[in-house]
Amino acid sequence: MFTFTSNILKNFLSQRATRRYPFETRSPFDGARGMLLNHIEKCNLCSICAVKCPSQCITVDRKASTWECDPFACVYCGICVDACPESALYQKPEYRQVAEKREMISLKGEIKKKVKKETDNGIESE
Ligand code: SF4
Ligand code: SF4
């Protein structure tokens, strides 16, 4: 009973352990992955990120040239970032902003044409 009462008193008199998010935020920890972003100008719409994503939250439509991600389904694992052959994907170590409704990240990309380059032995594709 004494321990119980002293704990209650201690909790009343000490600072609260939680923050008033989103009014108070804390800096991300070292190595935190954070929000997923796409340098769409580098993206080749190859779909590798969509295939690798364990949450299945990326959709690539090559016909419409769109890259979409549902940030509410993303678990920030970084697998797509590691898998992207164009280094288009990256993670910004910040928490996602508070949103009143569910919105997709929808970007318009472009399928890059392969460039042929001349070599000493002939023509080689890049
Ligand atoms: S973000 Fe990277 S892996 Fe995903 S479609 Fe674009 S180029 Fe491919
Ligand atoms: S960070 Fe993980 S969960 Fe989020 S889109 Fe990439 S692979 Fe999917």
pLDDT computed for residue 116 by the predictor: 65
Phi, psi at 2, each rounded to 5°: -65, -45
Residue nearest to atom 5 of ligand 2 (CA): 74
CATH number of the domain bearing residue 95: 3.30.70.3270
Query: Is 7 a member of any domain?
Result: no
In angstroms, what is the span from residue 123 Cα to ligand 1's centroid?
26
Q: Is the peptide bond before 85 cis (omega within 30 degrees of 0)?
A: no
CA distances from 88 to 12, 20, 63 (A): 50, 35, 19
Residues 45-85 pLDDT 10s: 999 999 999 999 999 999 999 999 999 999 999 999 999 99
Range of the domain at 46: 28-112
> Do the Cβ atoms of 36 and 84 come closer than 8 Å?
no
Q: What is the rounded distance in angstroms from the CA atom of residue 112 to the CA atom of residue 116?
A: 12
In angstroms, what is the span from residue 45 Cα to ligand 1's centroid?
5
Mean pLDDT of the chain: 88
pLDDT computed for residue 89 by the predictor: 98
Query: Is 92 a member of any domain?
Result: yes
Residue nearest to atom 4 of ligand 2 (CA): 74
pLDDT computed for residue 29 by the predictor: 86
Q: What is the rounded distance in angstroms from the CA atom of residue 126 to the CA atom of residue 123?
A: 10
Query: Is 14 a member of any domain?
Result: no
Q: How many domains does the chain have?
A: 1
Q: Is 106 exposed, middle or buried (0-12, 13-18, 19+ CB in 10 A)?
A: exposed
Query: Is 104 a member of any domain?
Result: yes
Query: Is 100 a member of any domain?
Result: yes
Residue range 2-15: mean pLDDT, rounded:
87
For residue 89, give the nearest of 104, 79, 103, 102 by alpha carbon: 79
